[in-house]
Amino acid sequence: MRKLEVDVAIIGGGPAGLAAALAAHDQGAAEVLIIERNHELGGILQQCIHHGFGLHRFKAELTGPEYAQRFINELKDTDIKVLLETMVLEVTKDRTIYAVNSREGMLEISAKAIVLAMGCRERTRGALRIPGKRPAGIFSAGTAQRYMNIDGYIPGRKAVILGSGDIGLIMARRLTLEGAKVEAVVEILPYAAGLARNVVQCLEDFDIPLHLESTVTEIHGDDRLEAVTIAKVDENWRPIPGTEQKIECDTLLLSVGLIPENELSSGAGVELDPVTNGPKVDDTLMTSIPGVFACGNVLHVHDLVDNVSKEAERAGAFAAQYALDKLPAPPRRIKVEAGENIRYVVPHEISLERPVEFFMRVQRPEADVYLDLGGLRRVKKPFVRPSEMLDITLSVEQLSKLEGDTLRVRIVSGKEAGVDA
Amino acid sequence: MKREAKTKKAVQVAIVGGGIIGTLTARELSRYQLDVLLLEKEAEVGWGTTKANSGIVHAGIHEDPGTLKAKYCFPGNQMFPRLCEELDVSFKQTGILVVALAEEEMDMVHMYYQRGLERGVPVRLLSREEVLAQEPNLSEDVVGSVFAPEGGAVMPFELAAAAMENAVANGAELMTESPVIGAWVEGEKKYLETPTHIIEADVVINAAGLFADEIARMFGDDYFRILPRKGEEYLFDLELAGLVNSIIFPVPASKISKGILVIHTADGNIMIGPTSDNVPAKDDLGTTYSGFERIFSETRRLVPGLDPRKVITQFAGLRAASDRGDFIIEFSPNVPGLLHLAGIESPGLTAAPAIAADVPKMLEEQGFKLTPKENFQPRREGVVRFRQLSRKEQDELIRQNPAYGRMVCRCETVTEAEIVDAIRRGARTLDGVKFRTRAGAGRCQSGFCQPVIMEILSRELGIPAEQVSKRGAGSEQVKYEAKELLGKGVS
Ligand SMILES: Cc1cc2nc3c(=O)[nH]c(=O)nc-3n(C[C@H](O)[C@H](O)[C@H](O)COP(=O)(O)OP(=O)(O)OC[C@H]3O[C@@H](n4cnc5c(N)ncnc54)[C@H](O)[C@@H]3O)c2cc1C
């Protein structure tokens, strides 16, 4: 078994891992190692050949591979080490990593700090329990995307897409551009789950019908998918009898949500948030295990890669500080609580020692409201939607006014709020 | 193809159907100096009812006295440890509990206990405290239970595939994608027609599962019916492993089924099911809203902690129930040399080794002379399961064969070398690889690994990706190459 020792080990070489590695290196960590299971860096971005990445960070409309390449190029000027085609099997509490690849066999890597950046996976048909048969031709949207954009195959010629998440919307356009017909996008919510700009650019511009408050109630076909039945749902998401409609298709894509991939984290004993399915972290993005940090979609599912990079840079920098013994435990710990119409907030705990950037999502859409951070800061929001992550920073000065040991984040209506702080 | 143009082939014994019954029978017959041919309509064996069931090796206490089910169930159970050891198949003696949730159900618990004692099945009565000590996540309402420690769970598809592989290694022959579409008798000989072949045989063994009545009818032997009865099952994420340690039955409300159970599978997942619904069609393999609701409401009475959000997949299987309500294991009264192993509904998987072991005896009773092979090899070449090895063993394995260092299925930790090995042993499809190796059977349900498995299948079988299928011709996953549809105007 080959043994290695590093300052900061980063698990996952997608956008989060890349930004974390660069930041750790900039902070002065001597040995930074990225471990990636794929044969190239860039993660899921490599199959996202559409544009729309980097608007915030680079003020440019890049494709996924272009966005990733900017970081990969930067990496080339550093001595950051990369292990490709290497699969991490286990992470332990004392920060030992077991990984395999075909060149070196089993690797035992001891790290002073670890950054978890494994990304997420897609929710499956099983998780939705769609009734009916089990023919070929049912894909998660990301799998179909990989078949089309990496392998060069088109899954079928007539598709229905269940779920209006961003990948589903992007795939509706992609299939159409490849000459397939997208018969319908079906969404159980009364509004689209993906970004508003994707609804316009991927569905409306191509006349693809979006069926809201609807779901797929049955799958037909023995060998290959032949049709799906869709129906309207009531407020409890139950199909309404009499509203069924059978749509012929040979392909069904599922774009019904992403789940952070935390098998390694929970194996190590990292405490998870049942709402995000990601680790609980503090304002340094450190998990419940000292020296283990998390960022990107493994922490919570982001909708913009720009935010992932930003978050990962902080995780990488703090990981380096931890490795260099420059991150003392804070004297005070404040709990962050999700209040009215807030589904979750990251981080889960703060220290008042440093400015904090909060990421959060609401439970339901609302118009004309204020986002309130423990009364310390209040921001007017014309709209809040679950599909669009909210992002707000509190300065050390603002934090210094906090009383008590919890900070409650909530949405308050325009009437109640009165002022715009 | 015209009948005259088909390839002719003569064997002594032809088996129709490669389910657990057909494959284990082939293996039993491969102990003797006989030409044995198994015809299977699908691309691989084990894809009928054998792949879609609860995987329970029943203890032998549920079957009514005097039935063939009772005759074969407990002896079958007793054969499992050795059989699975010889064939290197996942099998776990988890034990079976039948639990009473109300005082009045204790009568049935005592009845099972007595029945067990009479049949020689190891059984114990457990008090409320004893059951809860053994299964802490069981409902607080539990009153008492009967425990049969020798009941367990097996991976049924794995067993069928392993039995076939071993039979072939011992000289039996397998033809897949060979549905029997016609059958007749000429003198002493029986003939079976497939799309490409005419098979002549002295003995035909009808192990065609749901279609056994149709095979019989092709011979003009029309005296039983197979009535499909559907069972839906829901499989949970490995995260829930350990919620129960054994297989948990309720006291059944009706005589037709054993109730809806909480199953600890041989791979350690928790699974719940099955329903029991008569259906008109033999291809009605769909799951339903109503099935889901009934299964959850029943099993959550037993184990309240079953969380529907942790379901990773669901499926349905069809029991091939005969109109006699029992197995049909007999030579046809109308067609000499036609042996029916039909109506093998639950506990057919458990009974299968005992039924198969009886087949040579039944042939001898009909006057066939069987000579044992001296070089019969009961053991199948062992399978490497990378995830079960120690770190050191894994390291050594990769040094011998670097393909063990290429992880294909991240959820279940399956390597490229294991997939290549499965293909060498007969996997031809994505489902075949999944059922043999677990690659794609985990929580992401092949979202990540399917394109890679497809590439490996395409490379190893020498076929283009568009011909790689989920489960045989017609179920190809990717249908076109990039740009192929452009300008074709799909409507
Ligand atoms: C939901 C459910 C749960 C169950 N749970 C259990 C359990 O826990 N324990 C237990 O002991 N039993 C259980 N059973 C019963 C068990 O699964 C069956 O008894 C067993 O699998 C039957 O095997 P078989 O070989 O007879 O049938 P099959 O597996 O159906 O095999 C028949 C084969 O014949 C082939 N075939 C059909 N027609 C033709 C043709 N014309 N030409 C060529 N080939 C043909 C088919 O493709 C198939 O491969 C369960 C059944 C169901 C449905």
For residue B196, what is the domain's CATH number? 3.50.50.60
Measure the CA–CA gap between A132 and A126, rounded to whole angstroms.
11
- Nearest by Cα to A378 from A418, A350, A340: A418
How many angstroms separate the Cα of B130 from the Cα of each of B147, B243, B246, B250, B417? Answer: 10, 17, 14, 17, 45
Task: Pick the range with the lowest mean pLDDT from A122-136, A175-189, B149-163.
Answer: A122-136
Q: Which two tokens stand for residue B450?
A: 């399917």
What tokens appear for A34 in the block?
């990225």
The yes-or-no answer on residue B340 being catalytic is no
Q: How many CB atoms lie within 10 A of CB A249?
A: 25
Provide the pLDDT for residue B252.
Answer: 87
**Nearest-CA distance B59 → chain A (Å):** 30
Min Cα–Cα distance to chain A from B461, Å: 18
CB contact under 8 A, A135 and B475: yes
Q: Which domain holds residue B5?
A: 1-90+154-225+323-382
pLDDT over 90 at B443, yes or no? no
Specify if B359 maps to a domain: yes
Q: What is the pLDDT of residue A418?
A: 55
Question: Is the pLDDT assigned to residue B168 strictly greater than 90?
Answer: yes
Token pair in block for residue A194: 């993906």
- Best B269, B434, B471, B475 residue to mutate vs chain A (most A CBs within 10 Å): B475
pLDDT band at B490 (very low <50, low <70, confident <90, very high): low
Final residue of a domain: which of B335, B353, B382?
Answer: B382
Give start and end residues of each alpha helix (H) in A296-364.
305-323
Q: In whole angstroms, how far apart are CA A30 and each of A9, A106, A372, B102, B348?
A: 11, 24, 41, 66, 63
Q: Give the whole-angstrom CA distance, residue A293 versus residue A114.
A: 6
Say yes or no to pLDDT of A215 above 70: yes
- In the predicted model, what is the mean pLDDT of residues B27-35? 98
- pLDDT tens-digit profile of A342-378? 999 999 999 999 999 999 999 999 999 999 999 999 9
Q: Which of A364, A358, A347 is nearest to A391 (CA)?
A: A358
CB contact under 8 A, B490 and A101: no
- CA-CA distance, A131 to B317, in Å (whole number)? 14
**Continuous segment of H or E residues that includes residue B77:** helix B68-87
Q: How far apart are CA A382 and CA A374, in angstroms?
A: 20
Answer yes or no: is B329 within a domain. yes
List, for residues A270-289, the tens digit of each pLDDT value. Answer: 999 999 999 999 999 999 99
Locate the chain B residue with the closest alpha carbon to A249. Answer: B491
The answer to whether A180 faces chain B, any CB pair under 8 Å, is yes
User: What does the block give as tokens for B164?
Assistant: 């076939």
Reference A222, options A135, A283, A114, A123; nearest CA is A135
Distance CA A159, CA A243 (A): 20
Query: Is there a single domain that holds both residue B122 and residue B139?
Result: yes
Q: Are residues B66 and B18 part of one domain?
A: yes
Q: B108 CA to chain A: closest CA distance, Å?
A: 34
Task: Classify domain A124-256 by CATH architecture.
Answer: 3-Layer(bba) Sandwich (3.50)
Q: What's the confidence (pLDDT) of residue A20?
A: 98
Residue A255 CA, ligand 1 centroid: distance in Å: 35
The answer to whether residue B491 sits within a structural domain is no
Instruction: Decide if A152 and B481 are in contact by the 8 Å CB cutoff.
Output: yes
Q: CB A153 to CB B481 under 8 A? A: yes
A151 in reach of chain B (CB within 8 A):
yes
Average pLDDT over residues B207-215: 98
Rounded CA-CA distance A188/A162 in Å is 9
Provide, rounded to the nearest whole percent, the portion of chain A with pLDDT above 90.
Answer: 92
Give the number of other Cβ atoms within 10 Å of residue A416's Cβ.
10
Task: Point out the ligand 1 atom lying closest to the alpha carbon of residue B341.
Answer: 26
Average pLDDT value for chain B: 96
User: What are the DSSP E strand ranges found in B349-421?
Assistant: 407-409, 414-415
Pairing type for strands B144-148 and B189-193 reads unpaired
Whether residue B391 and residue A136 make contact (CB cut-off 8 A), yes or no, is no
CA distance B477 to A154: 9
Q: For residues B368 and B478, state if they share a domain.
A: no
Q: In angstroms, rounded to a whole number, what is the distance separating the alpha carbons of residues B121 and B58?
A: 11
Nearest residue to B197 (alpha-carbon basis) of B36, B37, B42, B7: B7
CATH number at residue B257: 3.30.9.10
B368 and B400: one domain?
A: no
**In residues, how long is chain A?**
421
pLDDT band with cut points at 50, 70 and 90 for residue A416? low
Provide the shortest C-alpha distance from residue A238 to chain B (in Å): 10
A361, containing H or E segment: strand A356-362
Identify the helix (H) or strand (E) that includes residue B398: helix B391-400
Does residue A421 register a pLDDT over 70? no
Substitution site in B346, B350, B355 for ligand 1 pocket (most atoms within 8 Å of beta carbon): B346
CB A139 within 8 A of CB A19: no
Average pLDDT over residues A177-191: 96
DSSP structure string for A27-53? TT-S-EEEE-SSSSSSGGGGG--SEEE
Selection from A118-127, A409-418, B215-224 with the highest mean pLDDT? B215-224
Q: Tell me what the mean pLDDT of segment B228-253 comes to.
A: 94
Check CB contact of A146 with chain B, cutoff 8 Å: yes
Q: Do residue B391 and residue A102 have CB atoms under 8 angstroms apart? A: no
**Nearest C-alpha in A relative to B289:** A131
The model carries a pTM of 0.93
- Nearest CA residue ID for atom 15, ligand 1: B346
Residue A395 identity (one-letter amino acid) = S
Domain match, B12 and B85 both? yes
**SS3 label, residue A207:** coil
Q: Give the Å distance between the CA of B47 and the centre of ligand 1.
A: 8
DSSP designation for A330:
P
Residue B393 lies in a domain: yes
Answer yes or no: do B398 and A147 touch at CB < 8 A. no
Give the best residue of B230, B284, B296, B391 to mutate against chain A (max A CB count within 10 A): B391
**Residue A225 Cα distances to A134, A135, A165, A249, B312, angstroms:** 8, 5, 22, 7, 20
For B410, the closest of A87, A151, A158 (CB atoms) is A87
Each residue's pLDDT tens digit, B44-88: 999 999 999 999 999 999 999 999 999 999 999 999 999 999 999
Cα separation, B479 vs B484, in Å, equals: 10
Q: Is the pLDDT of residue B491 over 60?
A: no
Q: Residue B451 is nearest to which of A101, A105, A147, comparing CB atoms? A: A147
- CA A403 vs CA A281, A408, B241, B244: distances in Å: 21, 11, 44, 46
Average pLDDT of chain A to the nearest whole number? 95
Which of the residues B289, B490, B491 would you substitute to probe the A interface, choosing the one with the greatest number of A C-beta atoms within 10 Å? B490
What stretches of A123-189 adopt beta strand conformation (E)? 138-140, 153-154, 158-162, 181-186
Q: Token match 């962050």: residue?
A: A336
CA–CA distance, B170 with B416 (Å, rounded to integer): 28
Looking at residues B32-50, what average pLDDT do you find? 97
Long-range CB pairs of B256-260 (<8 Å, 24+ gap) are: B258/B62, B258/B346, B259/B298, B260/B294, B260/B295, B260/B298, B260/B299
A105 with B488: Cβ contact below 8 A: no
In a domain, B76, yes or no: yes
Ligand 1 pocket (Cβ < 6 Å) reads: B 16-22, 39-42, 47-50, 53-56, 58, 179-180, 207-211, 215, 231, 274, 317-319, 344-350
Task: State whether B422 and B463 are in the same domain.
Answer: yes
Flag whether B351 is in a domain.
yes
A5 touches chain B (CB under 8 A): no
Q: Averaged over B419-447, what is the pLDDT?
A: 94
Alpha-carbon B64 to chain mean position:
23
Cβ separation of A224 and B474 shorter than 8 Å? yes
- B105-142 residue pLDDT tens: 999 999 999 999 999 999 999 999 999 999 999 999 99
Q: Radius of gyration of chain A from Cα atoms?
A: 22
- The residue written with tokens 């290959």 in the block is A224
Q: How many domains does chain B have?
A: 3
Query: Cα–Cα distance between B417 and B422 in angstroms, integer?
Result: 9
Q: CATH code at B444?
A: 1.10.10.1100
pLDDT higher than 80, residue A107: yes
In a domain, B456, yes or no: yes
> What is the rounded CA–CA span in Å between residue A364 and residue A296?
23
| B424 class by beta-carbon count within 10 Å (0-12 exposed, 13-18 middle, 19+ buried) | exposed
Q: Compute the Cα dihedral for B69, B74, B80, B82 and give only its sign.
A: negative
Q: Which entry of B58, B62, B264, B340 is annotated as an active-site residue? A: B58
Question: What CATH class does A2-121+259-323 carry?
Answer: alpha beta
Of B448, B476, B482, nearest to A178 by CB-CB distance is B482
Mutation pick for ligand 1 pocket among B28, B49, B213 (CB with most ligand atoms within 8 Å): B49
DSSP, collapsed to helix, strand or coil, labels residue A328 as coil
Structure tokens that stand for B419 in this block:
């997939």
Residues of B in contact with A124 (CB under 8 A): 312-313, 443-445, 447
Residues of B with Cβ-Cβ distance to A103 under 8 angstroms = 402, 405
Give the tokens for residue B221.
């032997």
Distance B95 CA to ligand 1 centre (A): 23
Q: Which of A129, A146, A217 sits opposite B451 (nearest CB)?
A: A146
Residue type, B353: P
Q: What is the distance in A from the centroid of ligand 1 to the CA of B322?
A: 13
- Give pLDDT, residue B489: 63
Among left, alpha and beta (phi > 0; psi -120 to 50; other), residue A367 is: beta
| Mean local confidence (pLDDT), A404-418 | 85
Report pLDDT digits (tens) over B378-418.
999 999 999 999 999 999 999 999 999 999 999 999 999 99
Residue A382 touches chain B, beta carbons under 8 Å: no
Residues of each domain in chain A carrying CATH 3.50.50.60: 2-121+259-323, 124-256
A420 pLDDT tier (thresholds 50, 70, 90): very low
Share of chain B above pLDDT 90, in %: 92
Q: Which residue type occupies B457?
A: L
Q: Count how many Cα atoms sit within 13 Å of the Cα of residue B71 in the half-sphere of its side chain.
A: 11
* Whether B357 and B395 share a structural domain: no
pLDDT band (50, 70, 90) for residue A170: very high
For residue B490, is it within any domain? no
| A416: contact with B, CB 8 A cutoff | no
Q: Whose CA is nearest to atom 7 of ligand 1?
A: B56
pLDDT in tens, B140-150: 999 999 999 99
Q: What's the gap between Cα B162 and its chain centre?
A: 11
B332 and B219 within one domain: yes
CB within 8 Å of A34: residues ≥ 6 apart: A10, A12, A13, A17, A18, A21, A41, A80, A81, A82, A83
Residue nearest atom 14 in ligand 1 by C-alpha distance: B346
Same domain, B259 and B362: no
